[in-house]
Structure 1
Amino acid sequence: MDLRVPLDPRHVEETVFDALISAREKFGDKEILEDLDRKPLTYTGLIRSAFVLGRKIAAMTDLGERVGILLPSSSGVVVTYFGLHAHGRVPVMLNFTSGQANIKAAIKAAGLKKVLSAKRFINQAKLEDLMDELGKVAEIVWLDDIRKTIGLQDKAYGLLAGMLPRQFRVRTEPSSTGVILFTSGSFGAPKGVVLSQWNLVANCRQASQYIDLKPEWVMFNPLPTFHCFGLTGGVMLPLLNGMKAFQYPSPLHAKQIVELLPEVKASILFATDTFLNQYARVASPDDFDTLEFVVAGAERVRPETHHLFNTRFHGLKLLEGYGATEAAPVVAINHPDRNRPGTVGQMIPGMEWRLDPVEGIPDGGRLFLRGPNVMQGYLSPDDPDIVEPLAGGWHDTGDIVDIDKDGYVSILGRIKRFAKIGGEMVSLTAVEGLASAVWPEARHAVVSIPDARKGEKLVLVTDRRDADVARLAEWARSHGAPELAVPKKILRVAEVPVLGTGKTDYVRIQQMAELDKAA
């Protein structure tokens, strides 16, 4: 049975800015963007602002130039992003939580000359020292200063451009670069992902073909736009489908976020398991009353998080999905009417996939993807002008997955997240699941380190202070789990490290385990 659903042929290839113009034509000039400043923008307001700011940036950059953006989720970052597109520049989203070395590496990899930021944000986030360092490798352009130079002539230009946007915008192609993002670096150095404009727009079309999104809904986005989930899901998906997009600057503010949800009449909340678990703990049942459903991605949803939602917020569906920065990012997602917890749902329309067998892993296979949302390639680490294309258009996700007869996808683990112990392949993700079953309220991560006797040894890093091997072994025996899946070493920590995106920071955890071994 062929489970592939084609993308609706009525979805013609469009650029990012033309897709925004098309959305205004389809849904009318309604309010579609707001942030904590509570000054909502209509489609026309956004388009005008993008033209005005974009022209100022264009005056100091070249056509086609890549320009860095270092900003939190806000109306400002959305205006800046579309402003670059209106004038034929390429946005490069920089992860301000990834540390000085990684940001400098990203600036070099993308060949950036200028980085756009805002003094107000930098002061609030206490990133002055970081910006001083970044200023040594690129020119920092302050948007606060640019806005002070906007005069009557600029506003008149914006007024006219807002009326005739297709005449004023710089013509680009759907195949031209839409954004450069850097992978989270949870398993190593971040890689520069080059997504075309059509990759981004297509992913929004795929998602809206799969789930009927109503234009009267409000999308609440607490995720950063340097993360593809936050950019595509939290910004582009709502704007291109007539929904208001409410931008919140940090996913860490659990109490403030749950109080805001009913106030802004949020219909959909996008976040990762880490953050959703925190929100569910501090929310009262009526805080989520306006939500139609909640979407979780970027990391596995723990059974405890599903349990929290099922018991505290009756009838509210938590839909787990699966994506990759390289796929712009949505690949599969559960549907409000077809929700199977424990899976990441079915493949969205337009996706092609294949599963290659992996020696030592009997179930599922290594997932390869191809489709209109799959990236152009990675930036070459040696030359910013070279994009390394995908062989045959196929992206190797590095994930081991199983797909059942109904097309539901289960993630078994990453190829890097398997250890070979005594000749047997053991999924580190499954071992984390074992620890979560024993101590569901704690956070756990499992890594492997070299072992002279069995090849590799499992190390459980946990914030559960009384975690012990005997309790894990007892649970494994009583539930038929193999003895190989029980970590023989436990490292108890005050806090399991996570990245700014909410994903587990396996690079840091691996370093902790190796340092502990060496000590």
Structure 2
Amino acid sequence: MFRPGLDPSAGEESLFDALVAARAKHGDKEIIEDQDRKPLTYTGLIRAAFVLGRKIAAITEPKERVAILLPSSSGVVVTFFGLHAFGRVPVMLNFTAGEQNLRAAIKAAGVKKILSAKRFVDQAKIDDLIMVLSRDAEIVWLDDVRASIGLQDKLFGLMAGMIPSQFRVKTKPSDPGVILFTSGSFGAPKGVVLTQKNLVANSRQVMTHIPLDPNWIMFNPLPTFHCFGLTGGVVLPLLNGLKAFQYPSPLHAKQIVSLLAEVNASLLFATDTFLNQWARVASPDDFRTLQFVVAGAERVRDETHHLFNTKFGGVKLLEGYGATEAAPVVAVNHPDRNRPGSVGQLLPGMEARVEKVEGITEGGRLFLRGPNVMAGYMSPDDPDRIEPLPDGWHDTGDIVEIDEEGYIAILGRVKRFAKIGGEMVSLSAVEGLVAAVYPEARHAVVAVADSKKGEKLVLVTDRGDADVSRLAEWAREHGAPELAIPKKIVRVTDLPVLGTGKTDYVAIQSLVEMDKAA
């Protein structure tokens, strides 16, 4: 299927030029702010990007891939656009990914320099990690760079802010816009090369699908090393005239819910994991300024929908679907067309096809193509080689159903099916069964080898009294197959999650294997 409705020229400009064009369209308004409460206007952001970018350009090469290791803040936005102003390519590093994955990312991207800040390193207590990474790349402290800024630099920024087209390095929409790494939920993270066109086009697609009021304020607590946080929390609002408030950590539940009304937040993008945590500590009026909330990156639980429908006066919770490889938004529900249980309709300008998978009776494997779909994966062996997509089609690995009106339902991932006694069983569906019995807890289901039936299901849960017999009873009462009942339960205090809030299935699988070996 193809979803029409996008201007064919969407994305046909460089990212920095799109930022400058947004200033011309929306006026020199306040556009970025963080917890330091020192807002920047469009011109302030552009000037700061030129001043910082010029300093970084002096110690790097044209088109060099330069890593950024920073939390969500005005500083990370200035740094990101500062690299673009001088034709460098930002590589966003996930500081929660662990030493092994980070070192692999640095090597895969061919990174020589990492931009970070001493204040952040101290607060995040990652001194040891920085010491390890310094063996692979030079750490450039932005604190020191800023301290070296003098009158001449400021005068340069003043002039460049007035006529940016005369000072920025010209790049093409097809040039790399950012290098990100997949979350690693199910395996080793992959390096994704998104072009500048991908990022600009995705922000245009969202605006075409759901018109956003430039007077609204976006609250972004998601990390910019995650594509949802980068595109949804930075590129989308800045290119469309919405002020973006950057918050450094989604883990600060109480601080976040108290800030929402204080900064008059209109939009909130987050994952189900974080939304559920925030909803539990929020008072009924903490979300009163929000127009709606968009949840992505993982399935939204019924409990989370229930909280928003009852506790917060019916604040609309829109579930969406994305992938790093698609910059990332693929589909999202609409405030006026919100269908819980689905992730909404495909964004304008995208094509989708669904292919049947042997052994899986419902739905099929989703392939995507469109202006927001990546250039390709980086070769793990050669930083300069990008593995292109066959005819531009990206294999998502997700099993979906698309109804006659174009609403997409995610049934699971190809990797998240177990073969038990010759039958294919969706692990996501089994998690749904468990959640129906124990809705207030967090669960994950994985499969391990079984000598009799090929594989068996193991439930990992933070529910201390979870019981196989209770699950079996529910399954019988609701007509669920016996194959969908986990044969073993591993109880944990906290379910392992990634820095993005998504369930860490790699860690959970290892935990189960260790428990099995014990």
Shorter-chain TM-score: which interval?
over 0.9
Q: Which amino acid aligns with 1:53?
A: L
Alignment of 1:81-480 (within 5 A): 81-480=80-479
- 8 A contact 2:11–2:197 mirrored in 1: no
Q: Which amino acid aligns with 2:454?
A: G
Cα RMSD (Å): 0.7
Percent identity between the aligned chains?
Answer: 77
Alignment of 1:48-63 (within 5 A): 48-63=47-62
Q: Which amino acid aligns with 2:427?
A: L
- 8 A contact 1:6–1:351 mirrored in 2: no
Runs of 4+ in structure 1 deviating by more than 4 angstroms, as ranges, are none
Taking the aligned partners of 2:29 and 2:421, their CA distance within structure 1 comes to 62
- Alpha-carbon displacement from aligned partner over 1:375-414 (angstroms, at most 9, x marks no partner): 0000001100100000110000000000011110000000
- 8 A contact 2:2–2:350 mirrored in 1: no
- 8 A contact 1:435–1:444 mirrored in 2: yes
- Structure 1 residue ranges without an equivalent (≥5): none
Taking the aligned partners of 2:352 and 2:35, their CA distance within structure 1 comes to 40
Taking the aligned partners of 1:181 and 1:440, their CA distance within structure 2 comes to 33
Residue 285 of structure 1 deviates from its aligned partner by: 1.1
TM-score by length of 2: 0.99
Q: Which amino acid aligns with 2:233?
A: G
Residue 25 of structure 1 deviates from its aligned partner by: 0.4
Residue 47 of structure 1 deviates from its aligned partner by: 0.1
Taking the aligned partners of 2:2 and 2:76, their CA distance within structure 1 comes to 38
Taking the aligned partners of 1:235 and 1:35, their CA distance within structure 2 comes to 12
- 8 A contact 1:180–1:195 mirrored in 2: yes
Tell me: CA distance 1:12–1:515, structure 2 relative to 1, closer, same or farther (3 Å).
Answer: closer
Q: Which amino acid aligns with 2:196?
A: Q
Residue 304 of structure 1 deviates from its aligned partner by: 0.6
- 8 A contact 1:3–1:407 mirrored in 2: no
> Match for residue 68 of structure 1?
67
Greater CA drift, 43-52 or 356-365: 356-365
Taking the aligned partners of 1:12 and 1:69, their CA distance within structure 2 comes to 24
Residue 362 of structure 1 deviates from its aligned partner by: 1.3
Residue 361 of structure 1 deviates from its aligned partner by: 1.1
Taking the aligned partners of 1:363 and 1:14, their CA distance within structure 2 comes to 41
Residue 258 of structure 1 deviates from its aligned partner by: 0.2
- 8 A contact 2:11–2:198 mirrored in 1: no
Q: Which amino acid aligns with 2:256?
A: I
- Secondary structure of the 1:34 match is strand
Q: Which amino acid aligns with 2:419?
A: K
Taking the aligned partners of 2:355 and 2:435, their CA distance within structure 1 comes to 29
Taking the aligned partners of 1:249 and 1:167, their CA distance within structure 2 comes to 34
Is 1:28 matched up with 2:27? Answer: yes
Residue 5 of structure 1 deviates from its aligned partner by: 1.8
Greater CA drift, 411-420 or 308-317: 308-317
Q: Which amino acid aligns with 2:290?
A: L
Residue 12 of structure 1 deviates from its aligned partner by: 5.5
Q: Which amino acid aligns with 1:322?
A: Y
- Alpha-carbon displacement from aligned partner over 1:61-80 (angstroms, at most 9, x marks no partner): 00000000000000000000
Residue 6 of structure 1 deviates from its aligned partner by: 3.8
- Secondary structure of the 1:286 match is coil
- Alpha-carbon displacement from aligned partner over 1:42-91 (angstroms, at most 9, x marks no partner): 00000000000000000000000000000000000000000000000000
> Match for residue 15 of structure 1?
14
- 8 A contact 1:417–1:427 mirrored in 2: yes
TM-score by length of 1: 0.99
- Secondary structure of the 1:378 match is strand
Q: Which amino acid aligns with 2:510?
A: Q
Residue 516 of structure 1 deviates from its aligned partner by: 1.0
Residue 4 of structure 1 deviates from its aligned partner by: 1.9
Taking the aligned partners of 2:282 and 2:420, their CA distance within structure 1 comes to 42
Taking the aligned partners of 1:208 and 1:152, their CA distance within structure 2 comes to 40
Taking the aligned partners of 2:211 and 2:387, their CA distance within structure 1 comes to 36
Residue 11 of structure 1 deviates from its aligned partner by: 2.8
Q: Which amino acid aligns with 2:389?
A: L
Taking the aligned partners of 1:75 and 1:148, their CA distance within structure 2 comes to 17
- Structure 2 residue ranges without an equivalent (≥5): none
Taking the aligned partners of 1:13 and 1:363, their CA distance within structure 2 comes to 38
Q: Which amino acid aligns with 1:516?
A: D
Residue 9 of structure 1 deviates from its aligned partner by: 3.0
Taking the aligned partners of 2:393 and 2:497, their CA distance within structure 1 comes to 30
- Alpha-carbon displacement from aligned partner over 1:467-516 (angstroms, at most 9, x marks no partner): 01000000000011111000010000011100000000000000011111
